[in-house]
């Protein structure tokens, strides 16, 4: 199976659709690590899809029907984008709280969460109790989150507070994320790694001219680059 070619999606990537370090670069690494191909009636959940870029790519690359879930961006706004992009029959915008999903059990063949999982899932047992019940047996979850490098675990407040304020606690090390995913009889494999897309994802975000990117620029060389990383998480269920 061919690897994802990010240039196929360049026309969709803009200041309007980007909300942080390039979600497509993070997704590219996740998908290229384990390319997936599904049937058109298979369901995939994109948890924390933002303005729908990741949902678009997942739909195009896997062939599945994608539930594009986000709490910050309304389903109505994302629906307009999906219609404009010509994928509204394949990508369904929804608004569900990850703490209280109303999906059917074992509904999804796969789950993706790019640059969002750390906002709501940074506690032990969350994956097993809140996420795993909705993934089919033999299914997979791919998660990409910003984190702090392993060697700085335990020092997030002193190193990141100036940049992140009270949100510093969301940045956890790859080692800690593995502990938080946990162990279960239903889990076959948990693979955690420091992602290689860091420089590309950040450089594309910092090229955007908005107040959030401009704020990040002030901290990139002194805080973001030396202490943080992106954490890749792959979970395979039995």
Domain interval for residue 151: 6-237
In this structure, is residue 18 part of a structural domain?
yes
Distance, in Å, from the CA atom of 189 to the CA atom of 15, rounded to the nearest integer, reads 37
In this structure, is residue 31 part of a structural domain?
yes
In this structure, is residue 214 part of a structural domain?
yes
Classify 137 as helix, strand or coil. Answer: strand
The greatest distance separating any two alpha carbons of the chain, rounded to the nearest whole angstrom, comes to 48
Q: Euclidean distance between the first and final Cα of the chain, in Å? A: 23
Report the pLDDT value the prediction gives residue 202, as an integer from 0 to 100.
Answer: 98
In this structure, is residue 233 part of a structural domain?
yes
Structural domains counted in the chain = 1
In this structure, is residue 90 part of a structural domain?
yes
In this structure, is residue 232 part of a structural domain?
yes
In this structure, is residue 32 part of a structural domain?
yes
67 pairs with which residues across the strands? 45, 92
Classify 147 as helix, strand or coil. Answer: strand
The answer to whether 115 touches 144, Cβ cutoff 8 Å, is yes
Residue that the structure tokens 């949100």 belong to? 167
Report the pLDDT value the prediction gives residue 37, as an integer from 0 to 100.
Answer: 87
Burial (Cβ within 10 Å: 0-12, 13-18, ≥19) of residue 84: exposed
In this structure, is residue 152 part of a structural domain?
yes
Distance, in Å, from the CA atom of 4 to the CA atom of 57, rounded to the nearest integer, reads 9
Spans in the chain with pLDDT lower than 50: none
What pTM value is reported for the model?
A: 0.95
Report the pLDDT value the prediction gives residue 2, as an integer from 0 to 100.
Answer: 56
CATH number for the domain harbouring residue 80: 3.40.50.150
The tally of CA atoms less than 13 A away on the side-chain side of residue 107 is 14
């Amino acid at each position: 199976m061919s690897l994802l070619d990010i240039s196929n999606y360049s026309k969709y990537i803009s200041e309007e659709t980007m909300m942080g370090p390039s979600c497509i670069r993070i997704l590219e690494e996740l998908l290229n690590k384990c390319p997936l191909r599904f049937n058109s009636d298979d369901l995939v959940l994109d948890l924390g899809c933002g303005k729908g870029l990741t949902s678009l790519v997942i739909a195009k690359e896997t062939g599945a029907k994608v539930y594009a879930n986000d709490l910050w961006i309304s389903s109505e706004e994302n629906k307009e984008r999906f219609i404009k992009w010509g994928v509204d029959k394949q990508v369904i915008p929804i608004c569900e709280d990850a703490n209280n999903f109303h999906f059917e059990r074992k509904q999804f063949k796969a789950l993706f969460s790019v640059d969002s999982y750390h906002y709501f899932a940074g506690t032990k047992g969350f994956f097993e109790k809140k996420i795993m019940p909705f993934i089919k047996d033999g299914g997979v979850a791919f998660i990409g989150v910003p984190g702090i490098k392993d060697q700085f675990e335990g020092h997030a407040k002193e190193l990141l507070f100036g940049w992140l304020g009270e949100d510093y606690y969301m940045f956890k090390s790859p080692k800690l994320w593995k502990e938080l995913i946990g162990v279960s009889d239903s889990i076959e494999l948990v693979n955690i790694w420091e992602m290689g897309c860091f420089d590309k994802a950040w450089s594309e975000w910092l090229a955007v001219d908005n107040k959030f990117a401009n704020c990040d620029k002030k901290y990139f060389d002194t805080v973001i680059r030396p202490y943080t990383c992106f954490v890749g998480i792959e979970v395979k269920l039995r």
